[in-house]
Amino acid sequence: MKMPCLFHPEQLLFKPVYEWAFGDKIDHPETTARAENILGALRANPDLFAIEAPKTRPLGALRDSHSYNLLTLYNTARQLPDGETFYPSVFPREGNVKGDPTTLKQAGCFCFDSGTPLSNRTFDAAAWSAACAYEGAKLVKRGAKCVYALSRPPGHHASREFFGGYSYFNNTAIAARYLKRTGTVAIIDIDFHHGNGTQSMFYRDDRVLSISIHGDPREFYPFYSGFPTETGAGKGEGYNLNFPLPAKTSFAEWMQIFEQNVLPAVRHFSPEFLILAAGFDTYIKDPIGDFTFQTKDYETVGAHVKALDLPTLVVQEGGYYTPDLGANVVSLLRGLA
């Protein structure tokens, strides 16, 4: 049985070219080459992986998980000329500002950083990226053991009303929202960065256990969330877990937290479904992350996740050392297969 892998070519139409990082203009890390490198690595293993395109964009699910204003703003961006990008760079500090999502200049009302541009293709690429996770969730619900959604652009920083962190629609959260209709869901987010958007979407939810293991927010993006004190609220109290780790954390140190805290929490919750929000910016050569994983380590992670013996959807998140990204993805999926 080959592992289903989901990807749609229209995901490649959105091409951010640069971002402002602490005042410097840098090449944008979230390139189309990332997805192309992953596709190449999947195609090189035709005995293991079956690549298919999602058939439709899940417009209803996008509306269920995200605000009307956010969708309207992406629609407004479709008026941009080809090849042009808009970077929000002015953000309101007052919480009660009502932005106008039909005016691109007010995009800062719906965004939280200046590294996440809009273009006339943002909506289509991000909607197809979400479609991969959504159709992947459907396959898992229908009985697939493990499915990989090659979601790009990524999603785990996007909340109901805000985009940022290269994320427009929260692909992982959209899949979790679908799966939780028929059972409880655990999300393990292993991206280098805290999954702040995913956390916010299930913060008051006791049907979705949201766990993130990431670089300490005192030092790393997104800086203001991902602390261990954020444990959920209301009936969701206790269903959100954060494990921040210091710069230069080794795989052995990471694995110790994973085995002693993350996996036992999932086993205790005993969900019907598992979603692995899989970022590879923990890789030693990653230009943004600061951990020291090697390619073979992802296979070890995959094998430990497989041992949970849960129907599993893997959703692609970050990972910016493009030459080795596909190899790292295949390593993880080999462990899960």
Give the binding site for ligand SP5 (CB under 6 A). Answer: 21, 115, 154, 156-157, 165-167, 191, 193, 221, 279, 281, 287-288, 317-318
Piece of 90-98, 124-132, 133-141, 190-198 that binds Zn ion (CB under 5 A): 190-198
Tell me the residue nearest to ligand SP5 as measured from the CB.
318
* Residue 318 found at the interface with Zn ion (CB under 5 A): yes
* Beta strand 208-215 pairing with 240-245: parallel
Q: Alpha helix locations (H) across the chain?
A: 32-43, 59-65, 68-77, 122-141, 171-179, 196-201, 251-257, 263-269, 295-306, 322-336
Q: Give the residue with the Cβ less far from Zn ion, 33 or 59.
A: 33
Mapped onto helix, strand or coil, the DSSP state of residue 169 is: coil
Residue 57 interacts with which of ligand SP5, Zn ion, none, CB < 5 to 8 Å by class: none
Question: Rounded to an integer, what distance in angstroms lies between the CA atom of residue 299 and that of residue 108?
Answer: 40
Residue 93 CB-half CA count within 13 A: 0
Mapped onto helix, strand or coil, the DSSP state of residue 138 is: helix
Establish whether 157 is a catalytic residue. Answer: yes
Q: Give the residue with the Cβ less far from Zn ion, 165 or 236.
A: 165
Whether residue 187 contacts residue 211, with contact meaning beta carbons closer than 8 Å, is answered with: yes
* Residue 191 found at the interface with Zn ion (CB under 5 A): yes
Residue 154 interacts with which of Zn ion, ligand SP5, none, CB < 5 to 8 Å by class: ligand SP5
Question: Rounded to an integer, what distance in angstroms lies between the CA atom of residue 223 and that of residue 45?
Answer: 38
* Residue 321 found at the interface with Zn ion (CB under 5 A): no
Q: Give the residue with the Cβ less far from ligand SP5, 236 or 290.
A: 290
* Candidates 66, 157, 193, 214; catalytic one: 157
Q: Would you tell me which residues interact with Zn ion (CB under 5 A)?
A: 191-193, 279, 281, 318
Which residues are catalytic, by number?
157
